[in-house]
Amino acid sequence: MSKQISFDSSSADFLIGKQLPLLADGLQAARDEAFADVELLRSGGEVPNNKQPLDSGFIDLPQRLLAGEDGLLESMQSTAKTFGEKIDRMVVLGIGGSYMGLRALHEALCDPYHNELERSARGNVPKLYFEGNNLDNDTLSSLLSLLKNQCTNPEELLERWGIVVISKSGGTLETAAAFRIFRQALEEYYGADSDLAKELVIPVTGETGKLRDLSNSIGYEATFPIPDGVGGRFSVFTAVGLFPATVLGIDIKEMLQGAADITEVCRTKPLGENPVLDYVAACHLLERDHAMDMRVLSTWGNRLEAAGLWYDQLLAESLGKHERGATPLTVVNTRDLHSRGQQHQEGKRDRVINNLTVGSVGTDAISLPEMAANQDQDLLNRIAGKTIPELLQAAISGTNKAYTDDKRPTTDMELPQLDAYGMGQLLQMLMLATTIEARLIGINPYGQPGVEAYKNNMGEILYK
Catalog residues that contact ligand PA5 under the rule CB under 6 A.
Answer: 95-98, 167-169, 172, 175, 231-233, 317, 448, 451
The CB-of-458 to ligand PA5 minimum distance in angstroms stands at 12
The CB-of-405 to ligand PA5 minimum distance in angstroms stands at 39
Greatest distance between any 2 Cα atoms in the chain: 78
> Does 317 qualify as catalytic in the annotation?
yes
The residue among 175 and 428 lying less far from ligand PA5, judged by its C-beta, is 175
Q: In sequence order, what are the residues at sequence separation of 6 or more whose Cβ sits closer than 8 angstroms to the Cβ of residue 20?
A: 13, 271, 281, 282, 285
The residue among 67 and 451 lying less far from ligand PA5, judged by its C-beta, is 451
The CB-of-98 to ligand PA5 minimum distance in angstroms stands at 4
Residue 39 in 3-state DSSP? helix
The residue among 172 and 410 lying less far from ligand PA5, judged by its C-beta, is 172
The residue among 238 and 357 lying less far from ligand PA5, judged by its C-beta, is 238
- Quote the CA–CA distance of 63 and 148 in Å, as a whole number: 42
Nearest CA to 399 out of 11, 13, 16, 108 is that of 11
The residue among 11 and 98 lying less far from ligand PA5, judged by its C-beta, is 98
Fill in the DSSP letter of residue 56: B
The CB-of-240 to ligand PA5 minimum distance in angstroms stands at 8
Cα angle: 286, vertex 288, 291; to 5 degrees: 70
**Residues 155, 338, 407, 464: which is the catalytic one?**
338
- Quote the CA–CA distance of 211 and 176 in Å, as a whole number: 8
Q: What is the DSSP string of 81-117?
A: HHHHHH-SEEEEE--GGGTHHHHHHHHHHS-TTGGGS
Handedness of CA 428, 434, 439, 445 (dihedral sign): negative
The CB-of-313 to ligand PA5 minimum distance in angstroms stands at 6
Nearest CA to 92 out of 119, 129, 144 is that of 129
- Quote the CA–CA distance of 357 and 233 in Å, as a whole number: 23
The residue among 167 and 434 lying less far from ligand PA5, judged by its C-beta, is 167
The residue among 56 and 257 lying less far from ligand PA5, judged by its C-beta, is 56
Q: How far is CA 122 from CA 126, 146, 198, 302, in A?
A: 8, 20, 26, 19
The CB-of-59 to ligand PA5 minimum distance in angstroms stands at 16
Nearest CA to 345 out of 333, 359, 357, 327 is that of 333
Other Cβ atoms closer than 10 A to 405: 9
For 401, what's the count of Cα atoms within 13 Å in the CB-facing half-sphere?
6
**β-pairing verdict for 6-8 and 410-417:** antiparallel
The CB-of-101 to ligand PA5 minimum distance in angstroms stands at 9
The CB-of-318 to ligand PA5 minimum distance in angstroms stands at 8
**Residues 174, 199, 305, 317: which is the catalytic one?**
317
Beta bridge partners of 90: 128, 162
**Are 240 and 166 contacting, i.e. CB atoms less than 8 angstroms apart?**
yes
- Quote the CA–CA distance of 432 and 56 in Å, as a whole number: 10
**Residues 3, 86, 290, 455: which is the catalytic one?**
455
Other Cβ atoms closer than 10 A to 214: 19
**Are 164 and 243 contacting, i.e. CB atoms less than 8 angstroms apart?**
yes
Position of minimal CB gap to ligand PA5: 232
The residue among 208 and 268 lying less far from ligand PA5, judged by its C-beta, is 208
List the catalytic residues. 317, 338, 455
